[in-house]
Amino acid sequence: MDLVADVITVEHLTVAFPAREGTGEVVRDVSLAIGAGERVGLVGESGSGKSLTARAIMRLIPQPGRVTNGAVLFDGAELGAKSAPTKWRGTKIAMITQDPLSSLNPLVKIGTQITEMLRYHRRLGRAEARGKAEELLRSVGIPDPRRTMTRYPAVLSGGMRQRVALAIAISCEPRLLIADEPTTALDVTVQAQVLTLLERMTAEHGSAVLLISHDLGVVGNFCDRLLVMYAGRIVESGPTATVIGAPAHPYTRALLSSIPSLRGDLPDRLASIPGSPPHGGGQGGGCAFAPRCPLAREVCRQTDPALLNISDLRTVPGDSHQAACHALGDENWNQAA
Amino acid sequence: MMTDPAHVHSIADQPTAAAPPVVDVRDLRVHFKVHRGLLGSQLVKAVDGVSFAIAAGETLGLAGESGSGKSTVARTLVRINRPTEGSILLSGAETARLSGQDLRAYRRRMQMVYQDPYDSLDPKMTIKDAIGEGLTVRGVPRARRKSEVEELLARVNLPVALAGRYPGQLSGGQRQRVSIARALAVSPEVIVCDEAVAALDVSIRAQVLNLLKDIQADARVSYLFISHDLSTLRFMADRIAIMYVGRLVEYGTSEQVFSEPAHPYTQALMAAVPDIASLGGPRPAPLPGEPPNPASPPAGCAFHPRCPLAVELCRTVAPPLVRKATGQLAACHVVPDAPEVA
């Protein structure tokens, strides 16, 4: 794999929490790579481990969880225990979350929160930082930046707060921006504005983006490549058009057909997935999706399938389509059941 | 601003069946007085002249952004909020001014399912007691309560074994099924679903939506289904109402509204939905601005500051909700009206 071109590489990441039963592994063997300027979507339901994967990259795993295996490489070098997170957090890798009200300091004026970043990380003078902050706020579409800088986060609307969070996140031109459900709390029209803005700002700075969402429509419309997570594992990955147009994993297929659409035929009933997703990662043993899977057979309950390349092995790794399912490539799977 | 009585009438007429609609809301207004310290108080017109009707066994989908007043409509229908003006007819009888005993009887006929069942279910009450409460209200004798609870659990596809559990021991999808069972316990004519599937995981949503449809087919219950998600409404609803800052801006059959949205706001809402069916196509420019504060809505048509079609008239005069050439009702000066019928 060409590591030099990738901004971030996550290899065999496993995150575990102490558990009474099972392994407690909420992220299992997750590997991913994001190139400069690339937009990758991480999609999954609650408890799938998508947010913890992002937090592991930021080294913000809440106690008592810990990374039990794997490595995170930034520009090919490990973000090991030796490099203090303050050296790269916020400057090289920035993050925005679902509700900026929880990431912005409620007692500090917007202006101070932005200039703080610029003065501390980019060593700008007071006046210079103020000018740059104004420019940043204007570039994220805040109508009256000077006035907004004197206000507190709580008086802004959700959309405006997310714009401020985005302005702070890009203030140091990070190589990677992690956006964890950035539009989930917003109205659909404001969501479209923020996504368009996110796209423009990251393209201008050449930042790579890891967009985390439960909404296949959001990641599908925004990302070049998708990773689908289920119970802590990546079960499918590939270019957006392939994953959505020709999903290989039964979970991805079921998920796509269970979403109502604005266009096309109107079904009488939605295809639905029986049961509910497991919480607290896999229970050990077989494929975590097996209890809900229409294709599951004995082997699925025994062994966890490996993530395999579906497309021709000659294609470049970045574009490869992978899925973890025993039924893949077995044309007689259904008959033999 | 007054709503022309003719329009109110035309809405009430819409369900074509001979029977009167189960719910017939006419010119509903819900105003709140908000105290602002020394500045005195301010009147917020959360709902300002809304009319709609729901026939038996039918679903009306209500959509709009935050602050549009859609939840206030829901809360007023189940009488958590008191209507300031207007009428709410349930099977033809006026209910807007009910109180005491009559109001309790009314609430039995109009139930609500909330977004987060964790908030609406008592965490210290077992599932069977939560559902059993409704049965007591309906006057089911104690001896039959257990079997009825089991019946209700089966109806929402929950195993009977869950009856003795507490809400905290269930998954989100299971809790929402319990809220539905609880609503069904009093055999209501109408169930108001306020973002009932919004908090559920994607793979669970389809199960609950299918369940709601099955229950409707079975019991001919009517739904007022409130959601910000238009694709869900397209699946669920027979009729669609779109709200913007306290008023309806569009109202018609699901078919009309989704195939030919008339109001520029409806069109913008639909364009903003990140639909997997329209992947790879050119993304339309997002609608600028944000929904206005309902405490100080813009003059004229409340949508005019964000509207791509706005003309001078829109800044001063609020457009009435009238029939448009595409068949549905919409409140817009620019969109052409239906030709006058003789």
pLDDT band at B80, cuts 50/70/90?
Answer: very high
Which positions 161-200 of A are in contact with B (Cβ < 8 Å)? 187-193, 195-196
State the Cα–Cα distance between residues B295 and B311, nearest whole angstrom: 24
pLDDT band at B182 (very low <50, low <70, confident <90, very high): very high
Q: How far is CA B180 from CA A28, A58, A333, B191, B230, in A?
A: 36, 41, 39, 9, 22
By the 8 A CB rule, do B12 and B21 touch? yes
Residues with Cβ within 8 Å of B24's Cβ and at least 6 positions away in sequence, in order, are B12, B53, B87, B88, B89, B92
What's the mean per-residue pLDDT of chain B? Answer: 90
Q: Which residues are paired to A210 by β-bridges? A: A40, A178
Peptide bond into B320 cis (omega under 30): no
Yes or no: say if A54 and A210 are a contact pair by the CB < 8 Å rule.
yes
Could you give the CA distance from residue A130 to residue B119 in angstroms, rounded to a whole number? 44
pLDDT given for residue A185 in this prediction = 83
Cα–Cα distance for residue pair B180/B191, rounded to 1 Å: 9
DSSP symbol at B319: P
State the pLDDT at residue B93: 92
Taking the C-alpha atoms of residue B113 and residue B211, their distance in angstroms, rounded to an integer, is 13
- Integer Cα distance of B43 and B325 in angstroms: 36
- Residues of A whose CB is below 8 A from B287: 189, 192-193
**CATH class, range A6-107+152-336:** alpha beta
Instruction: Give residue A281's pLDDT.
Output: 55
Res. A263 pLDDT band, cuts 50 70 90: confident
Residues in B touching A142 (Cβ below 8 Å): none
Q: B235 at the A interface (CB within 8 A)?
A: yes
- Structure tokens, A37: 């300027």
* Residue B85, CB-side half-sphere exposure with 13 Å CA sphere: 13
- Residue B199: closest CA among A45, A93, A287: A45
Taking CB atoms and an 8 Å limit, are A274 and B207 in contact across chains? Answer: yes
Would you state the pLDDT for residue B290? 86
B228 shares contact with chain A (CB less than 8 Å): yes
Are the CB atoms for B53 and B11 separated by under 8 Å?
A: yes
**What is the rounded average pLDDT of the residues A19-25?**
78
The two tokens of residue B59 are: 């679903």
How high is the pLDDT of residue A317?
53
Contact indicator for A239, A219 with CB cutoff of 8 Å = no
CA-nearest of A177, A180, A217 to A200 is A177
Residues in B closer than 8 angstroms to A214, CB to CB, are 201-202
For residue B52, count other CB atoms closer than 10 A to its CB. Answer: 22
The per-residue pLDDT for range B134-175, each reduced to its tens digit, is 999 888 999 999 999 999 999 999 999 999 999 999 888 899
Q: What is the mean pLDDT of residues B15-44?
A: 83
B66/A189 Cβ within 8 A: no
Phi, psi of B201 (to 5 degrees): -65, 150
Measured CA to CA, the distance from residue B42 to residue B336 in angstroms comes to 36
Nearest residue of B to residue A189 by CA position? B272
d(C-alpha B95, C-alpha B106), whole Å: 8
Q: Among residues A313, A337, A330, which one has the least CA distance to residue A248?
A: A330
Q: Which of A115, A119, A89, A114 is nearest to A104 (CA)?
A: A114
How far apart CA B28 and CA B287 sit, in angstroms, is 29
Phi, psi of A189 (to 5 degrees): -70, -35
Task: Give the pairing of strands A93-96 and A39-43.
Answer: unpaired
Residues in chain B: 342
Neighbours of A29 (CB within 10 A): 18
Q: What percent of chain B has pLDDT over 70?
A: 93
pLDDT at A312: 54
Q: Does A46 touch chain B (CB under 8 A)?
A: yes
pLDDT of the residue at A186: 86
Does the pLDDT of residue A311 top 80, yes or no?
A: no
pLDDT in tens, B290-308: 888 888 899 999 999 999 9
Question: Coil, strand or helix: which one is B199?
Answer: coil
Contact B258 A262 (CB under 8 A): yes
Task: Give the one of B65, B201, B279 whose C-beta lies nearest to A189's C-beta.
Answer: B65
Which chain A residues are closer than 8 Å to B308 by Cβ?
Answer: none
Element (H, E) at B5: helix B5-12
Which of B71, B158, B202 to mutate: most A Cβ within 10 Å? B202
3-state per-residue secondary structure call for chain A:
CCCCCEEEEEEEEEEECCCCCCCCEEEEEEEEEEECCCEEEEECCCCCCHHHHHHHHCCCCCCCCEEEEEEEEECCEECCCCCCHHHCECCCEEEECCCHHHHCCCCCCHHHHHHHHHHHHHCCCHHHHHHHHHHHHHHCCCCCHHHHCCCCHHHCCHHHHHHHHHHHHHCCCCCEEEEECCCCCCCHHHHHHHHHHHHHHHHHHCCEEEEEECCHHHHHHHCCEEEEEECCEEEEEEEHHHHHHCCCCHHHHHHHHCCCCCCCCCCCCCCCCCCCCCCCCCCCCCCCCHHHCCCCCHHHHHCCCCCEECCCCCCCHHHCCEECCCCCCCCCHHHHC
DSSP designation for B209: H
Residue B129 to residues A11, B120, B179: CA-CA distances in angstroms?
50, 14, 12
Q: Where are the alpha helices (DSSP H) in B193-280?
A: 202-219, 230-236, 254-259, 264-272
* Band of residue B19 on the pLDDT scale cut at 50, 70, 90: low
Closest Cβ–Cβ partner in A187, A221, A276 for B279 = A221
Residue closest to A113 by CA, chosen among A101, A104, A126, A103 = A104
Report strand pairing: A308-309 vs A322-323. Answer: antiparallel
Judge whether residue A229 has pLDDT over 90: yes
Residue A27 tokens read as 């992220």
- CA B175 → CA A126, A276, B155, B162, B227, distances in Å? 53, 12, 14, 11, 19
**What percent of chain A has a predicted confidence (pLDDT) above 90?**
55
Residue B13 clears pLDDT 60, i.e. is over it: no
DSSP state of B105: H
> Nearest CA to B9 among B230, B322, B340?
B322
B113-139 pLDDT, tens digit per residue, is: 998 877 889 999 999 999 999 999 888
Nearest CA in chain A to B207: A272
- In this predicted structure, the answer to whether residue B10 has a pLDDT above a threshold of 80 is no
pLDDT of B342 > 90? The answer is no
pLDDT digits (tens, 9 = 90+) for A265-278: 888 899 888 888 88
Output the six-digit token pair for A84: 């203090």
What CA–CA distance (Å, rounded) separates B39 from A266?
52
Report residue B276's pLDDT band, with 50, 70 and 90 as the boundaries. confident
Q: Where are the domains of chain A?
A: 6-107+152-336
| Mean predicted confidence (pLDDT) in A54-83 | 85
Instruction: State yes or no: pLDDT of A215 exceeds 60.
Output: yes
Asked if B273 lies within 8 A of A217 by C-beta distance, the reply is yes
Average pLDDT, chain A: 87
Q: Taking CB atoms and an 8 Å cutoff, what residues of chain B touch A269?
A: 210, 213
Across the interface, of B232, B278, B287, the residue whose CB is closest to A189 is B287
Going from the C-alpha of B99 to that of each of A154, B106, B254, the distances in angstroms are 38, 9, 35
CA separation for the pair A188, B227 (Å, rounded): 11
- Confidence at A302, pLDDT banded by 50, 70, 90: very high
Please give the Cα distance from A117 to A121 (Å, whole number). 6
Convert the pLDDT of each residue in A162-189 to its tens digit: 999 999 998 988 999 999 999 988 888 8
Token pair listed for B76: 């007023």
How would residue A314 be classed by pLDDT, with cut points 50, 70 and 90? very low
Task: Tell me if B201 and A46 make a contact (CB, 8 A cut-off).
Answer: yes
pLDDT band at A82 (very low <50, low <70, confident <90, very high): low
